[in-house]
């Protein structure tokens, strides 16, 4: 009861907006330690994913450090409530894009607010000559300052775009400041951040867990509550595909792009190519990656395929394959892109500007390739509704399918492949 009393006082105090966000740290420190579950990553100063390399030259991503949960369970420290939580995201980041898509598809735009940071990384401590960290910054709507890349080259880049915002709560200049305000000890300042405005702390920065929370915990407030992106009867199939989509595709493109040795790159590109082909094979016989229904697993896959031709083929040297050259994967991407609310979460200009302009070690002068205008390709019809006719009446283990349905099937889908349900 004493713990709950202290937390009640904390929530009451946190509803008062203060001009100095750092004043809250003393009260924040009184939270029971069980509410701030973080992995024990070694703090070696501020860092980015580019610093996470193994001795053999391969890229080894470190897990997210903030892993708390929003839950409807009684007594939850972070219960679902309207207008309590906020997402800090970047259009450019595929991990953040997962959360924007889930929020849109579930109809949570009026429930969870969003701030979109600028695409090109900048110095997060520009007044400290001894701090070399580069990372996400907020828009500057007033100065009109012209920016270059972190090495002082490339550009010019504006300090603000219409769709990017200043920090609405603390006047922070960078995402790093949000982490520091919350008492972060990990030193990796990533998006997305799911932030609790009332207790003024980070709930989670792990995208795979944030999208699960958005899917399951806010149905009371969601305008599309009937949409379940992680149905109970598909969890096993989702876990099976997620087990290779993340390491071989989502993270696989980074293992190719950040490799420091030819040997590490060769291993990464082999793994990536096999996974690309595996996804293509699966999606040639069913509409979505885990089965006949759209799930969180499709969101995980889509955000990588969306960036593949425009960015990864060039920047990360993943040129053994191309989505545009795969009719199956291109139409799969079209299918998802044309779902209600998804296209509004895509900003290819900011995607390309981030990747090609934020890492001077990989692209010194921040030259942005013109590219194939992949997003334009996504506006054409996809034709994948034809997979819906696969679920038909069954008689003694055989699928009954009408001549009319057969005529609507794509030529690459055989009756033999139809799912028996």
Enumerate the β-bridge partners of residue 47. Answer: 188
Q: For this structure, is 224 an active site residue?
A: no
* Total length of the chain: 421
Tell me how crowded residue 201 is: count the other CB atoms within 10 A of its CB.
23
| Active-site position among 88, 170, 189, 254 | 254
Element at 331 (helix H, strand E)? helix 327-337
Which residue among 88, 93, 161, 170 is the active-site one? 93
Instruction: Give the residue ranges of DSSP H helices in 174-218.
Output: 175-181, 207-216
Place of tokens 């349900």: 421
What value does the CA radius of gyration of the chain take, rounded to a whole number of Å?
Answer: 23
Sheet holding 193-196, edge to edge: 113-116, 85-89, 193-196, 201-204
Task: Compute the distance between CA of residue 71 and CA of residue 219 in angstroms, rounded to an integer.
Answer: 12
DSSP letters spanning 3-63: HHHHHHHHHHHHTS--S-GGGGHHHHTTS-GGGS-B------SSB-GGG-B-TTS-B-PPP
**Is the distance from CB of 46 to CB of 124 less than 8 angstroms?**
yes
Dihedral pair phi/psi, residue 165, rounded to 5°: -125, 160
Say which DSSP state 358 is in.
H
- Please, are residues 234 and 48 in contact by the beta-carbon 8 Å criterion? no
Residue 93 appears among annotated catalytic residues: yes
Among 295, 214, 210, 308, residue whose Cα is nearest residue 256? 308
- 11: closest CA among 169, 181, 199, 197? 199
CA pair distance 250, 252, nearest whole angstrom:
6
Angle at 43 between CA 37 and CA 48, to 5 degrees: 95
Q: Report phi then psi at 50, rounded to 5.
A: -65, -15
How far, in Å, CA of 379 to CA of 335, rounded?
Answer: 9
Beta bridge partners of 202: 195
- Measuring CA to CA, which residue among 299, 310, 134 is closest to residue 227? 299
Q: Report the C-alpha gap between 71 and 217 in whole angstroms.
A: 6
Which residues are the active-site residues?
Answer: 93, 254
């Amino acid at each position: 009861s004493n713990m709950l009393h202290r937390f009640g006082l904390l929530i009451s105090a946190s509803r008062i907006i203060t001009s100095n966000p750092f004043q809250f740290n003393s009260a924040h420190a009184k939270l029971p330690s069980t509410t701030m579950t973080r992995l024990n990553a070694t703090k070696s100063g501020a860092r980015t994913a580019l610093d996470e390399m193994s001795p053999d030259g391969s890229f080894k991503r470190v897990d997210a450090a903030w892993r708390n949960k929003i839950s409807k369970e009684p007594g939850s420290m972070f219960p679902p409530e309207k207008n309590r939580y906020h997402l800090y995201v970047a259009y450019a980041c595929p991990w953040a894009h997962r959360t924007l898509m889930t929020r849109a598809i579930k109809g949570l735009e009026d429930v969870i607010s969003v701030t979109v940071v600028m695409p090109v990384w900048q110095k997060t401590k520009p007044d400290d000559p001894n701090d070399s960290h580069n990372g996400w910054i907020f828009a500057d709507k007033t100065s009109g300052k012209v920016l270059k890349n972190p090495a002082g080259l490339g550009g010019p880049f504006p300090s603000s775009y219409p769709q990017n915002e200043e920090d609405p709560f603390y006047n922070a200049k960078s995402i790093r400041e949000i982490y520091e305000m919350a008492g972060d000890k990990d030193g990796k300042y990533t998006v997305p951040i799911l932030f609790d405005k009332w207790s003024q702390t980070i709930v989670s920065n792990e995208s795979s867990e944030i999208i699960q929370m958005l899917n399951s915990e806010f149905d009371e407030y969601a305008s599309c509550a009937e949409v379940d992106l992680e149905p109970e009867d598909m969890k096993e199939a989702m876990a099976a595909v997620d087990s290779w989509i993340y390491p071989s595709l989502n993270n696989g493109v980074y293992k190719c792009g950040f490799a420091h040795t030819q040997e590490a790159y060769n291993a990464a590109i082999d793994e990536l190519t096999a996974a690309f082909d595996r996804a293509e094979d699966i999606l040639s016989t069913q509409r979505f990656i885990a089965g006949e229904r759209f799930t969180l697993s499709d969101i995980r896959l889509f955000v990588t395929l969306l960036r593949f031709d425009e960015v990864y083929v060039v920047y990360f040297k993943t040129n053994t394959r191309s989505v545009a050259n795969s009719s199956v994967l291109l139409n799969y991407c079209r299918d998802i892109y044309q779902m209600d609310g998804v296209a509004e979460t895509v900003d290819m200009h900011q995607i390309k500007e981030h990747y090609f302009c934020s890492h001077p070690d990989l692209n010194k002068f921040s030259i942005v390739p013109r590219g194939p205008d992949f997003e334009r390709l996504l506006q054409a019809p996809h034709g994948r509704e034809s997979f819906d006719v696969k679920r038909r009446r069954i008689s003694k283990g055989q699928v009954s399918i009408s001549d009319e349905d057969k005529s609507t099937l794509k030529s690459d889908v055989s009756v033999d492949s139809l799912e028996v349900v």
